[in-house]
A and B are shown apart, each in its own frame.
Chain A
């Protein structure tokens, strides 16, 4: 009864919801762990990137020398790995996304069994990249792999290849599974966006005599542009950050042909023990991701106006 009167007078609900002790109990565990394991490490990385340090003893402060070695006077193939990550980003944007878009719009415009196709196409997305990697390693195996066996069986022996061992084909060979795995992801996002366009818009377009392709180009694509922007950002950032499949398939080889910034960073830190220089690579990747997110948003923003 007492509580009721107090609340009725107002003020006490505020005190009830402003209970500092309770707020601390609710927020601090998450906030502390988050600060120690995510926020602090970023500052540590920044700090390490200015050191000449092999992990033993104290590092020596060398300012921006690591970055100079990384970008200006690079000899370990970092620039090449950046180039590779751009190739992957290009493949994702110009091959993976158009495939995903075509499928998404087709399914969204009504096809028998759309739910079945959507569910099946999404399957590779949720499977571990290690499993996908091991599987494709077997697909590419020079003697017993699915790909070469198929080529031999249709008489194209001359095309068989050491797909992952040959520096010329390795890059494309590791990128294909990456592109393959995530088509379903972008398809799902675009499908959901296309589905949120009201049916009446499609109906009136059809009454006006527009065919399906015109509808897709003039109505669906412009209306789902916000989602396309999300997909382009995810595809680009995903390419810059991709690690698992390449680590499993080639670990950057042969002869650095398939190195990505992340695999090179991993090997620089944990194989060569160059903690400072490797951290500079990590910082570079973060800045790169951040910049490109902003750039892509700018580009799409302009298109909108």
Chain B
């Protein structure tokens, strides 16, 4: 797809574009820049306000100093949120569940995609389409049946109650992202490996898996964002504070500290920090993942 090729050039053309166009009229250019900066404020200001009030006490938040920098930088909001607000526990739970989900789904997806695209068997097309149809299924439709299945398996209120559904819901998108890449690998690779007497498992592990790295990073990004941010399953399948994830945990934190905004703000910032960190390190990769997900879907 030419679109995909173009995406690889986005950065390069960003440099070029700033030199080439809009050189003709500068008033229009200024207006456009002002509008773009105003929109930047609209997108970012609520988040900056959050960061500021997470460091203030109620006096400042509720009247004294609503908009400005904190007079006293109240870092204790963060320790309150982490300890008595239990955000520390929720954070570790989210981290654990998200990491295990990423590992599980990457393994399952790469193996299945390899066999579907690279190996020869009659039903491969059918199985591929079954997986891809999964993209159409909304989470809500499976909520109650999953609840009952997990209840019957005695998995409710355990971490597996989230890891299993999160892993499975990552499969359709993951297979979709992998197919294009796997199709582009030359067939000669397996033929040569076969000639050398290599086993099919070694072909997968030593040859195909390393080549799938770009697809796997897209899968990891999607799976991270989905599991880290998911609310409905987490809210329904988990009850105990000890295994709650951040999304549900934040809800109970907000319920407990209703009038004490500082620690709530701190909790929200802690929940968001890893995502922002990942995004600012990998922002191009994250954006490309979203584009390739949409283009293929």
* Interface window among A64-72, A77-85, A106-114, A167-175: A106-114
Interchain CB contact (< 8 A) of A114 among B14, B118, B254, B295 = B14
Give the residues from 269 to 291 in chain B that come closer than 8 angstroms, CB to CB, to chain A: 271-272, 275-276, 279, 283, 286-287, 290-291
**B27 sits at the interface (CB 8 A):** no
Do residues A120 and B44 form an inter-chain contact, with CB atoms below 8 A? yes
User: B110's closest neighbor in chain A, by CB?
Assistant: A26
Query: Which of chain B's residues have a CB closer than 8 A to the CB of A185?
Result: 290
Do residues B229 and A130 form an inter-chain contact, with CB atoms below 8 A? yes
Q: How far is the CA of A12 from the CA of B190 in the complex (A)?
A: 11
Do residues B2 and A22 form an inter-chain contact, with CB atoms below 8 A? no
Do residues B228 and A128 form an inter-chain contact, with CB atoms below 8 A? yes
Chain B interface size range: 35 or more
Interface string of A268-305 (1 = CB under 8 A from B): 01100001001100110110011001000000000000
Do residues A131 and B250 form an inter-chain contact, with CB atoms below 8 A? yes
Interface string of B96-129 (1 = CB under 8 A from A): 0000000000001101101110111100000100
Do residues A127 and B275 form an inter-chain contact, with CB atoms below 8 A? yes
**A86 sits at the interface (CB 8 A):** no
Do residues B261 and A138 form an inter-chain contact, with CB atoms below 8 A? yes
Do residues B171 and A34 form an inter-chain contact, with CB atoms below 8 A? yes
- With A33-B168, A41-B146, A103-B39: A112-B279 Cβ-Cβ less than 8 Å: no
**A219 sits at the interface (CB 8 A):** no
Interchain CB contact (< 8 A) of B18 among A45, A113, A129, A247 = A113
Query: Which of chain B's residues have a CB closer than 8 A to the CB of A123?
Result: 43-44, 47, 276, 279
- With A29-B111, A109-B21, A243-B140: A248-B251 Cβ-Cβ less than 8 Å: yes
Interchain CB contact (< 8 A) of A131 among B42, B167, B268 = B268
Interface string of A17-36 (1 = CB under 8 A from B): 11110110111011101101
Query: Which of chain A's residues have a CB closer than 8 A to the CB of B118?
Result: 17
Interface string of B50-65 (1 = CB under 8 A from A): 1001000000011100
Q: Chain A residues in contact with chain B, CB under 8 A?
A: 3-4, 7-8, 12-14, 16-20, 22-23, 25-27, 29-31, 33-34, 36-42, 44-45, 48, 103, 106, 108-115, 117-131, 134-139, 143-144, 146, 149, 180, 183-185, 188-189, 192-193, 195-196, 212, 227, 230, 234, 241, 243-244, 247-248, 262, 265-266, 269-270, 275, 278-279, 282-283, 285-286, 289-290, 293
Q: List 30 A-B contacts (CB under 8 A).
A: A3-B194, A4-B196, A22-B115, A27-B116, A30-B108, A33-B108, A33-B168, A39-B130, A40-B145, A41-B146, A48-B145, A112-B33, A115-B10, A117-B40, A126-B275, A126-B279, A128-B272, A138-B53, A144-B62, A146-B49, A180-B42, A192-B295, A230-B295, A241-B138, A241-B139, A247-B232, A247-B235, A282-B143, A283-B141, A290-B136
Q: Which 8 A-B pairs have the closest CB atoms?
A: A110-B17, A41-B145, A110-B21, A26-B115, A44-B145, A128-B229, A41-B142, A30-B112
**In the complex, given contacts A7-B191, A111-B22, what are 6 additional A-B residue pairs having Cβ atoms less than 8 angstroms apart?**
A7-B194, A41-B142, A110-B22, A241-B139, A248-B251, A266-B232
